[in-house]
Amino acid sequence: MTRRAALGAAAAALCLAAPSAAAAQTPQGSLSVGLRGAIEEGEQHLVLRGRSVVVTGTVAPFVAGDSVVVRFKRGAKTVKALRAPLAATGDGSKGYFSARYKPSRTGHVSVRVTHYAIPQVGVLRRRLGVEVVGTSLAGGSRGPLVRALQRGLDRMGYAVPRTGAYDAGTARAVLAYRKVNGMARLLTASRSIVTRVLARRGAFKARDRGKGRHAEVDISRQILALVENGRPAGVYAVSTGKPSTPTVQGRFRVYRKQPGSNEKAMFYSSYFIRGYAVHGYPSVPVNAAASHGCVRVPMADAISIYGWLSPGVGVYVYA
């Protein structure tokens, strides 16, 4: 066989072995997945036990009658599987789907979304992890939900540590939140409080929203708020004067500072009129106004409050 004939035979063999371009083409497509009702804490998706989470997403291109399968798994066990039909988005280029799940117990749930192949779109898969967490918090709790609660309180101006543990500082911040919102004066965070805080509801609203710094003492709610440019920079639960020795009301200014403790056990005192001061004290009752007219703050918060209340800062006391 001549060299030319051999080349021709090889080319013919290749043509027979290779499929046509149309036959070789694999269906293409894209799948996006998201969550509604989940709390994002770092890279984790949190869902409160008993509260629905909705898996949403799109498939492109859209084909009428197409669908995806959404599975919720605990370990190797599928606890729920749903076929979610696709509905055309506004321009018709994508298909939208949603699937709802309400977890009844805590733990890790794997969410797996699968689009099975059809002539126009290939197999598509996505996976997300969800942590189902309890709905109330108390001393000793720790983890991502505590961090989310602390972040939510901090965003609204409550004085709270960011430790990831439900410690004494977090309990005091929850107490302040409860007082601001007229709730039972407890140190625990119920389901209602957790959901409200995560939704950014229940912030302290200053009466004086002018520029600059001032402090507001609300006798009726037993609250001290450090306000900057009309927004709370620190909100604390306090104890003001008992009925027989009430805290004087009005607008004042810090006129004297006294660091450390004095003979009356007043700790880091900022005086705003006569002998009345904002100061730390060993006893700050949760439910009662108990002072001799001063504004008692917890010892753990006293130094930071003292540092914020510089000389000349206004103190607005009202009931």
3-state DSSP assignment of residue 118 = coil
pLDDT digits (tens, 9 = 90+) for 223-240: 999 999 999 999 999 999
Asked if pLDDT for residue 5 goes beyond 70, the answer is no
Q: Where are the domains of the chain?
A: 26-133, 135-203, 207-319
Query: Which helix (DSSP H) or strand (DSSP E) does residue 275 occupy?
Result: none
* Mean pLDDT score, 87-116: 96
136: pLDDT confidence band, cut at 50, 70 and 90? confident
Pairing mode of beta strands 87-88, 95-101: antiparallel
Asked if pLDDT for residue 13 goes beyond 50, the answer is no
- Would you state the CATH architecture of domain 135-203? Orthogonal Bundle (1.10)
Q: Mean pLDDT score of the chain, rounded to an integer? A: 91
78: pLDDT confidence band, cut at 50, 70 and 90? very high
Asked if pLDDT for residue 22 goes beyond 50, the answer is no
Asked if pLDDT for residue 98 goes beyond 50, the answer is yes
Whether 133 and 45 have beta carbons less than 8 Å apart is answered as: no
pLDDT digits (tens, 9 = 90+) for 289-319: 999 999 999 999 999 999 999 999 999 999 9
- List the strands of the sheet with 39-41, edge to edge: 39-41, 44-48, 124-133, 107-115, 67-74, 77-85
Residue 241 pairs in a beta bridge with: 291
Q: What percent of the chain has pLDDT over 70?
A: 92
- Residue type (1 letter), 243: P
Q: Is 3.40.50.410 the CATH number for 207-319?
A: no
Q: How many C-beta atoms surround the C-beta of residue 90 within 10 A?
A: 7
Protein fold of 26-133: Immunoglobulin-like (2.60.40)
188: pLDDT confidence band, cut at 50, 70 and 90? very high
